[in-house]
Amino acid sequence: MDSESVASRYLSLLAERGISHLFVNAGTDFAPLVEAYAQSGDAQGPALPAPILCTHENLAVGMAHGAYL
């Protein structure tokens, strides 16, 4: 049985809603998203958001805010 992970579905949902970038600060909670990106391979459907790795969470928030504006 092939089941979709929550992280994989989360990335798909972001893509379906037109989110083009994902500003992240990699920590222990980021591993499922990395795995979902790795397993996405040649998946059909909208392109997943491009991950942008930030060195600090405050930087990630500032960059996301700037991208939104």
Reference 19, options 39, 49, 44, 40; nearest CA is 49
Query: Is residue 46 assigned to a domain?
Result: yes
- How does pLDDT run across 10-65, given as a tens digit for each residue? 999 999 999 999 999 988 888 999 999 998 876 677 889 999 999 999 999 999 99
Residue 56: which domain range? 6-68
Query: Is residue 21 assigned to a domain?
Result: yes
Name the pLDDT band for 2 (thresholds 50, 70, 90). low
Q: What is the total count of domains within the chain?
A: 1
**CA–CA dist 44, 60 (Å, integer):** 28
* Under 8 Å between Cβ of 52 and 19: no
